[in-house]
Amino acid sequence: MAEPRRLLLTGANSGIGFEAAVLLCRAGHRLTLLCRDQVTAEDARQQVISRAGAGSPPATVVGDLGDLESVRAAAAELMATGNPIDTLVLNAGLQYAGSREPRRTPQGHELTFAVNHLGHFLLAQRLLPLLEAGRAPRVVVTASEVHDPASAGGRVGPPAGLGDLGGLVDRAGEGVTMVDGSAFSADKAYKDSKLCNVLFAREWARRLEARGTPWPVIAWSPGLVIPPTSTGGFWRYSRQGNELGQRLFALAARSLLRLTESVENAGALLAALASDDAHAAGGFRYLSNRLEGPGRHRFEACPTSGEAQDEDLARRLWEASAALVGVEA
């Protein structure tokens, strides 16, 4: 077996992240799980080691990606330990379907953008020294095919699009609502955040290569994954009155149309991306778990959307994000 890796994983308390954590723990890797509160962290730790049946119990750190101060505190705690990170897995995500009004973070930013992109961006910047101290450092970012308006999921509802990033200007302390400055749409906010994930990964890989350290920076789409309990974890902020609709959609997509990927299979893909030597090549890559037919997926490298290939947009998003979280661009 390859030498165990030291991994920091966000979003490990449920869904894809949890399944990946179980496999990584079982394989002997050393995990640190970043969770939004102490209760969630301890439950995730216990559940992972119980399911894994082997390996060392994961370490945990509390950090709410929806609160930049909490992210700073978590990063400071990790930096104080000085433990190197071999693989940083930025996997946590949320979507609150059915809401007409934006939910906001303590800093005033729309919650989807804050958790899926901005909190991860800040965490990555603060933990860079631990990655530099790691063995063959690697970064994995969970994105989605919906970043691409031409994809099956991206064609449903308003398409992803960041425009001129006009919405990232903090107007009188009100915070960011939509990246392009348009009227709020919960569906578009999620798609835009996934586009931000891909652009962030692309720009980080470019910057690493420019300084002579071309680590692997992998963005990936797991496909349509709907856990059996579709109202927790990823769905925890969705409108309560929309629960029946979510369950009916989940039933149709999973059992009737067979459009979904299982949580277990997607978790195995994430575990492999984080640890296998097959994914050790440097530079940016985007891989997608594409649906080929009912119940059939193919996981392979593929092009991103045209907008996600815009290097100038990636640079400007990086610089705007850095300004929002208060780090050097």
What amino acid positions are annotated as catalytic residues? 190
Task: For residues 109 and 98, give the distance between their C-alpha atoms in angstroms, rounded to a whole number.
Answer: 19
Which tokens belong to 25? 């723990």
Produce one character per residue of 217-234: b if its CB has 16 or more CB atoms within 10 Å, e if not: bbbbbbbbbbbeebeebb
Which tokens belong to 251? 């039933």
- In the numeric block, the tokens 């990927």 are attached to 261
What DSSP designation does 225 have?
Answer: B
Residue 282 CB-half CA count within 13 A: 11
Q: How far is CA 15 from CA 89, 214, 309, in A?
A: 14, 30, 29
Residues 6+ apart with CB under 8 A from 290: 145, 223, 297, 298, 299, 300, 302
Instruction: Answer positive or negative: Cα dihedral of 166, 144, 32, 48.
Output: positive
Find residue 300's DSSP bridge partners.
Answer: 288
Task: For residues 140 and 266, give the distance between their C-alpha atoms in angstroms, rounded to a whole number.
Answer: 14
